[in-house]
Amino acid sequence: MPAVLDQRLLRDDPERISRQLARRGLELDLTGLQQIALQERDLEEQRSTLQAEGNRVGKEVGQRIRAGASPNGPEVQELREQGNRLKQQVAGLEEEEKALEVRLREQLLALPNLPSEQTPDGASEADNVERKRWGEPRRPAPGETLQEHWQIAERLALVETERSVRIAQSRFVTLQGAGARLERALISFMLDRHAKRGYTELLPPILVNTASLTGSGQLPKFAEESFRCAEDDLWLTPTAEVPITSFHRDEVIPSDQLPLRYAAYTPCFRREAGSYGRDTRGLIRLHQFNKVELYWFTRPEESEAAHEQLTRDAEAILEALELPYRRLELCSGDLGFSAARTYDLEVWLAGAGAYREISSCSTCGDFQARRANIRLKAEKGTRLVHTLNGSGLAVGRTMAALLENGQQADGSVQLPAALVPYVGSDRLQPTA
């Protein structure tokens, strides 16, 4: 059973973990966890010593018999009894060790990743740091009124909301006609672009087991925000990050195969707990949405450069679609559970007059690899890989941005040139 946070660090320097978690706003006393980790190590050392003694006794039994001692004689019998006592002691220590390991892991699973030293300190999203802007945000001309995407989508008959509530419940939509075609075009466009940049395309299962959600960091923290199949150990995936993490779970990857770079399209499912009252109309916050995910497995010494490249690959989609955006670096208090460092990409929505998140590009260090037991084969033994992930992009939010930024005075929506071959038209027209 792999560890969650580095147990050597927990045993030797719990104050360092506490300091880093305090940067996230978590004030924790780790003394109790440290004691459990120390007890587990002591039991492991005792067990190893007894196992070594048991092996020595077993060898001595063979040596005595080969030297002429009777297999049923007193000296051999005494050694065998000693070996049996040692086996019983080892078994007892193994049970104690296993109980401590389970207890420690259950508590460590609830702790988030430690922030990178490069992550700026801060308490909330108000402390995030803007790193760059691209493109000129469209603003209404004098006398012009820009609509929000849900208004445009309803006017152009791109979505059907009321019937979708009848089919499922609120916060589900059915795309229809040009809306369905545009969604499909965006998915293909994104996957094709990422494939040209060297990503291997995956189409993973969208039902994932508990081990997969635990390995990527969604469980146990976000159980209430996930949809579960009650009669099976299966959940609807909240993001392709989950199945891709487990694509190499419990594997040792040869170092010369790294980095591994994947691009995957999946429908995603989230309850969005605690978000009711926000973005109740349109495509921004739905229980089901489509997303293209980018994911890297890389060597630890290359993960910083990989983070920049993954973020640029997501930005390249926005630039090809001529969508203005900005890059924010999240502060320590606004990081996601599994992230050590994160860049959020926010696209400009002309109708709303605001930037909204469309991609979150994170490096997780060895946090997910430790939970999912993913290692690389090095010259001397093995070590944990580093994982990175980011949306490339959230498809519904991309459609929202296209509708708001491309709206025209005649009621149509102008599409960017890069998307025309996928849609078959350079604009969406109102229906007669």
Catalytically active residues, by annotation: 270, 285, 357, 360, 397
Comparing CA positions, the residue from 118, 111, 137 lying closest to residue 37 is: 111
Comparing CA positions, the residue from 387, 393, 360 lying closest to residue 375 is: 387
The enclosing H or E element of 326 equals: strand 325-329
Distance, in Å, from the CA atom of 29 to the CA atom of 108, rounded to the nearest integer, reads: 13
Give yes or no for a cis peptide into 393 (omega within 30° of 0): yes
Contact between 430 and 412 under an 8 Å Cβ cutoff? The reply is yes
Contact between 236 and 190 under an 8 Å Cβ cutoff? The reply is no
Helix ranges, 297-353 (H)? 303-320
Comparing CA positions, the residue from 107, 87, 106 lying closest to residue 95 is: 87
Residue type, 81: E
Contact between 13 and 38 under an 8 Å Cβ cutoff? The reply is no
Q: Indicate the length of the chain as a whole number.
A: 432
Comparing CA positions, the residue from 56, 47, 46 lying closest to residue 83 is: 56
Q: Which two tokens stand for residue 353?
A: 């007059």
Distance, in Å, from the CA atom of 399 to the CA atom of 139, rounded to the nearest integer, reads: 18
Distance, in Å, from the CA atom of 191 to the CA atom of 293, rounded to the nearest integer, reads: 9
Distance, in Å, from the CA atom of 34 to the CA atom of 146, rounded to the nearest integer, reads: 58
Contact between 364 and 113 under an 8 Å Cβ cutoff? The reply is yes
Q: Which two tokens stand for residue 277?
A: 């009252």
